[in-house]
Amino acid sequence: MIDSNPVYESINWYVLNHIATTPARNSAQRTVDRFNDAEQLDLQLFAPSYVVREEKDGVVSMKRMHLTFHYVFLRGKLSDIKRLCRMENGFSFLLNRSGGARYAIIDDATMRSFQIIAKAYENELPYYSLEDIDLEAGDLVEVVNGDFPGLVGTFIPRLKSNTGNIVLRVDQNLGTVAYNIKVSDVRVLEFARDSRRVYDQIDAFVPRLLKALRAHHDSQRLSASLISQLSVFCRRFEVVKLNNPKLEAKLYALLSVANSILGNMEESSRFRDLYERRRQSLTNPVTIALVTLLFAVNDRDHVMLRDGNTLIGGVTATSALQRSLAEEYNYYLSR
């Protein structure tokens, strides 16, 4: 008798064990195909290979194995998959030891990301135990270019490099890694807890934006490098979650002006509106002077420009940013 619980009949990806005594004659895919034909079903099987870490006599090696002989992933209704598992074919459910649902389930979004990596590696999936990786060390990102478009996972940047690896959590202790992802190919969805990278990346962008703003104001053609820097920044930070109203206000101002310089007026207006909702959060005089300069020059508002200059003039220049702002105000007011 079929369980009346609606969850029982919902379609999910289930994690199964598959141990076949004669793999050549009884592969997971062949078994599922025969079951689908007999029952007129459309269960979907995903069974790539993976890499296990082995250590022997102090020597660490990575051994490639096929998930067909251990884990496989099957999408369908629980009642149908239970019928498959009751047959003598090597299939059995992987129980969920973390509580909640009885069986280990993977949602469609995670499986899509999982398959993106597998496809890029020709179904040879790099596998890691999540115990070896500190997931809180990275940012949640989405890949927008390269071999892994659409992949969402935790970005682990490499020290002094413009690349990094993306870790995808598949199960409670099952993860996989996409290697050598360029930082320019991802956009940040959410920065890691207590991460300083968000501050560093935003501060590093300010001089580039000021340089682009001068060229734009003087009707000069922007270099390909500047256009690229503005475009990548806008793409990477357009959907980021910061959970910090002060930093959000500053970021929205940068995004509004950067998009305006690039000619993306709709996006510029959107971020200007978001800034207006956060502007009262700004309390640092230097940050307010920076934002005032950006909007004053972009809007060609000389009254606002003079007001901003008064603000920065009342602050002793002790940092490179303060000295740079003073120079920028003098540049525009002297023209």
pLDDT digits (tens, 9 = 90+) for 234-287: 988 888 888 789 999 999 999 999 999 999 999 999 999 999 999 999 999 899
265-271 contacts at long range (C-beta below 8 A, 24 or more positions apart): 267/234, 267/238
Residue 44's contacts (CB-CB under 8 Å, 6 or more residues apart) are 74, 75, 76
pLDDT of residue 189: 86
Query: What angle, rounded to 10 degrees, do the helices at 302-313 and 320-333 form?
Result: 140
Mean pLDDT of 80-98: 85
How far is residue 242's CA from residue 237's CA, in Å, rounded to a whole number? Answer: 10
Beta pairing partners, 165: 156
Amino acid at 107: D
CA dist 90 and 69 (Å) reads 9
- Give me the pLDDT at residue 291, please: 96
What's the CATH class of domain 197-333?
mainly alpha
Close Cβ partners of 172 (under 8 Å, ≥ 6 residues apart): 96, 97, 98, 104, 130
CB of 173 within 8 A of CB of 199?
no
- Which pLDDT value is given to residue 23? 54
Task: Write down the architecture of domain 128-190 according to CATH.
Answer: Roll (2.30)
- pLDDT in the model for residue 27: 78
Residue-level pLDDT at 303? 93
pLDDT at 99: 63
Strand extents, DSSP E, 235-321: none
> How is residue 226 written in tokens?
């500047």
What are the Cα distances from residue 7, in Å, to 1, 10, 58, 103, 104?
Answer: 15, 5, 47, 12, 14
Structure confidence at residue 3 as a pLDDT band (50, 70, 90): very low
In which element (H, E) is residue 45 found? strand 44-46
Dihedral of the alpha carbons of 43, 16, 64, 138, in degrees to the nearest 10: 100
Which has more confidence, 196 or 329? 329
Q: Give the Cβ contact number of residue 83 at 10 Å.
A: 13
Please tell me the distance from the alpha carbon of residue 201 to that of residue 274, in angstroms, as a whole number. Answer: 20
| Nearest residue to 75 via CA among 126, 158, 120, 15 | 15
Going by C-alpha positions, the residue among 115, 63, 81, 108 that lies closest to residue 9 is 81
* One-letter amino acid for residue 289 of the chain: A
pLDDT at 75 exceeding the cut of 90 = yes
C-alpha 152/C-alpha 298 separation (Å) is 35
- Name the helix (H) or strand (E) containing 274: helix 265-278
In this prediction, residue 298 carries a pLDDT of 95
C-alpha of 263 from chain center: 26
Q: Are 251 and 287 in contact (CB under 8 A)?
A: no
Distance CA 204, CA 208 (A): 8
What is the model's pLDDT at position 2? 40
CB 297 within 8 A of CB 213: yes
Domain with CATH 1.25.40 in the chain: 197-333
Task: Please answer whether residues 9 and 80 qualify as being in contact, where contact means their C-beta atoms are separated by less than 8 angstroms.
Answer: no
CATH 2.30.30.30 location in the chain = 128-190
Give the model's pLDDT for residue 133: 64
